[in-house]
Amino acid sequence: MTPARRMPAMIGRNGVAYGSSSALSLSQADLLDSHHLQQAFQQQLFDQIPAGVDSGDNIIHGRSDTLADEFESKSCSENPDGTSGDDGQEDPNQRPNKKKRYHRHTQHQIQEMEAFFKECPHPDDKQRKELSRELGLEPLQVKFWFQNKRTQMKNQHERQENAQLRAENDKLRAENMRYKEALSTASCPSCGGPAALGEMSFDEHHLRLENARLRDEIDRISGIAAKHVGKPMVSFPVLSSPLAAAAARSPLDVVGAFGSAGLGPDHLFGVGAGAGELLRSVSTGQLDADKPMIVELAVAAMDELLRMARLDAPLWGNGAAGAQLDEEEYGRMFPGGLGPRQYGLRPEASRDGAVVIMTRDSLVEILMDANRFAAVFSSIVSRASTHEVLSTGVAGSYNGALQVMSMEFQVPSPLVPTRESYFARYCKNNPDGTWAVVDVSLDSLRPNPVLKCRRRPSGCLIQEMPNGYSKVTWVEHVEVDDRSVHNLYRPLVNSGLAFGAKRWVGTLDRQCERLASAMASNIPNGDLGVITSIEGRKSMLKLAERMVASFCGGVTASAAHQWTTLSGSGAEDVRVMTRKSVDDPGRPPGIVLNAATSFWLPVPPKRVFDFLRDETSRSEWDILSNGGAVQEMAHIANGRDHGNCVSLLRVNSANSNQSNMLILQESCTDASGSYVVYAPVDVVAMNVVLNGGDPDYVALLPSGFAILPDGPPGASPHGEISAGLEAGGGSLLTVAFQILVDSVPTAKLSLGSVATVNSLIACTVERIKAAVCAEGNPQ
């Protein structure tokens, strides 16, 4: 008898040995030739793929990792009877077939998961367990159904983008053909004969363009030199070729694609400047193919911003976050704009204004400096950088300045994802004396497979007022994918209060008052504890500014942060994150543990703010004070609102063996939200600061609270309305601690430290809830 041929055993992802005796009996192997063995091997491979998975499509689109996960998890349930075959009959001469069948989900299960997917395409473990319990499925089945659904949606989105790009490609090809035909029939304006352009070689064409560009550069440099040495500007003959004239013309003259007809040469810089000045101010080494397009886009965006800032109804209506944009009217007024709305992105637009105590020129300087901008708006901007300066402006001012920037915008809670944007920022002095600064997205220039925030023309219009004041009109217009926002913060984000113009203007107004307070010289010294020294005030305010910026940047769901959720710690999940501090003079060296949680309170934000900032009620929630009395040693008022101030507190310990502790605290509030941020400080270091010393070397680990409204007035997101509380009048409170758990940066974090911080924040939350709710509902 011929011995059976053996196939080498191949181990699959589920531990099944393909081609081994566990899959085929010896008697069957004797009867099968190599062709039958191959068919059996392929059938086993196919049986490993769960129902509903398009393996070919996933592999083509780079989704082999999804298939691998599905092999391991078996997202569909197995057939308990173990039968196979269409008619359910068994051959008595054969052993029972061990092939596994998979049941598809029922129509009800699919409908429920489809509805949940629309609300939350990325459910967490807790949501998946709840959904699986409701539908009678395993959590892994739910997990991989959502994976497959996200892959399917991504593929559909890619097909739509491919179709759109194909249509644009066809349009560009047709335009190219028209241009070629026009060039081939061009005639010379001097003699009327055929132009030499059609016969010009590519190299000659390129050299003429370069020649024209260099002559423009020489003209610009000669003009600058003439201003300093008093010699007349050298003039150079202009090329007679029509190609040179086309090269010298700025693309700013042709902005029709953005619906900005009528942009003349003076539109970019205002009266008295040519259209090519912005391109001429660009340094030679940075001039490439993208610069003209960015300039053209910036000019069109400026035109749109000016119209949106000056027009009222019917373009704008009333809203919770300021004036709300009428989308239909916007589409009629700006038919070109930046093109159609992006798939999967929600439009969000608002406008607000205020008169602030700062000069027009100072505001422009802050807006055009990324570092100063991030410092003033530290509660909104977590990261800001300038990638390229395309123009520094003309005549020593920011008129015509153009920069390429990227920023990350935040809400002080780990439950709200940040918004990242890559954009051009353009500044212009208008003929009526106003200044405008506009942002517009440049996402098409940066490879970004998933676009989650697109910045349409946004910015502010600044009008100079008497006595050092300025009137600011702010327009915020974006398209965002905010489906990852936690349900607790969804009403606030959807209303525009979280990222809208009202928050920008409120923050700017408060920060202008703060800067004016730092520069004030006529300070009454009658009040006890008021710091009258100008140097001491500046140093203390600078230290408090760094403390607040560190707090806001350490509590958000930034892409640079890796939060770990501690589930089961109570009604609210506590999120923790560790950071190593090495060679940072502003932080103590070692391992720092950040812990944060957000929750809802049925109490208005102002009442929560007043309770937390009051030193007399601090012992009711501050566990670290050990029940000691808190006394205010010094304070600096930095705004019209009594709650806007920087204080130096002393905790008088109830235990005589313990030394007294100093706490630096800043409390600030505006229409968009409130903050109470504090940090323990060294007594010696604070004495140096109060005498005007450098505050940058004072080590701080800030903790505190961010208090936001729970949504627009009249719409409570929880359905819980306590006595005396109007709908939508609750608060969203974020509590965050930064604690040094080990002074050695290379040490490992212990579970005991995490448990201690977790207990600390949970106990603080419970004390605040008990105290605030009892205060809001007196018996």
What is the domain-level CATH number for residue 159? 1.10.10
- Coil vs helix vs strand at 643: coil
Q: Classify the phi-psi angles of 189: left when phi > 0, otherwise alpha if psi is within -120 to 50, otherwise beta.
A: alpha
Q: Are residues 299 and 386 in the same domain?
A: yes
Domain of residue 304, residue span: 289-518
Q: Are residues 649 and 508 in the same domain?
A: no
Give the Cα separation of 48 and 28 in Å (integer).
22
Q: Is residue 458 part of a domain?
A: yes
Furthest CA-CA distance within the chain: 114
Q: Pick from 230-234, 574-578, 711-715, 720-724 the range whose average pLDDT is largest.
A: 574-578
Strand pairing report for 453-455 and 419-429: unpaired
**Using CA of residue 214, residue 216, residue 220, residue 222, what is the dihedral sign?**
positive
Q: Are residues 509 and 532 in the same domain?
A: no
Q: Pick from 257-261, 583-587, 660-664 the range whose average pLDDT is largest.
A: 660-664
Q: Is residue 61 part of a domain?
A: no
Lowest mean pLDDT across 621-635, 664-678, 721-735: 721-735
Q: Tell me how many domains the chain contains.
A: 3
**N-to-C CA span, the chain:** 97
Compute the C-alpha angle 661/665/670, nearest 5°.
Answer: 165
Instruction: Report how far apart, in Å, the C-alpha atoms of 544 and of each of 372, 537, 539, 611 are.
Output: 16, 10, 9, 20
Element (H, E) at 213: helix 202-229
Tokens of 172: 């560009």
The length of the chain in residues reads: 779
Tokens of 223: 């003009």
The answer to whether the beta carbons of residues 650 and 633 sit under 8 Å apart is: yes
Cis ω before 314 (30° cut-off from 0): yes
Q: Is residue 134 part of a domain?
A: yes
pLDDT for residue 237: 35
Q: Are residues 382 and 490 in the same domain?
A: yes
State the pTM of this model: 0.63
Read off the pLDDT of residues 353-409 as tens digits, 9 standing for 90 and up: 999 999 999 999 999 999 999 999 999 999 999 988 988 888 888 999 999 999 999
Q: Are residues 541 and 514 in the same domain?
A: no
Instruction: Report how far apart, in Å, the C-alpha atoms of 570 and of each of 567, 601, 758, 772 are.
Output: 8, 15, 10, 19
**Secondary structure (H, E, C), 113-170:** HHHHHHHCCCCCHHHHHHHHHHHCCCHHHHHHHHHHHHHHHHHHHHHHHHHHHHHHHH
Query: Would you say residue 305 has pLDDT above 50?
Result: yes
Give the Cα separation of 98 and 81 in Å (integer).
10
Q: Are residues 473 and 527 in the same domain?
A: no
Q: Are residues 390 and 528 in the same domain?
A: no
Q: Are residues 588 and 609 in the same domain?
A: yes
Read off the pLDDT of residues 65-116 as tens digits, 9 standing for 90 and up: 443 344 344 444 444 444 444 444 445 444 545 455 556 788 888 988 998 9
CATH assignment of the domain containing 428: 3.30.530.20
Using a pLDDT cut of 70, give the percent of the chain over it.
66
The answer to whether the beta carbons of residues 351 and 371 sit under 8 Å apart is: no
Q: Are residues 485 and 528 in the same domain?
A: no
Q: Is residue 216 part of a domain?
A: no
Tokens of 614: 């009051």
Q: Is residue 130 part of a domain?
A: yes
Which residue, 164, 188, 221, sits at the end of a domain? 164
Q: Are residues 310 and 453 in the same domain?
A: yes
Q: Are residues 744 and 624 in the same domain?
A: yes
The answer to whether the beta carbons of residues 123 and 146 sit under 8 Å apart is: yes
What residues contact residue 607 under an 8 Å CB cut-off, 6+ apart? 772, 775, 776
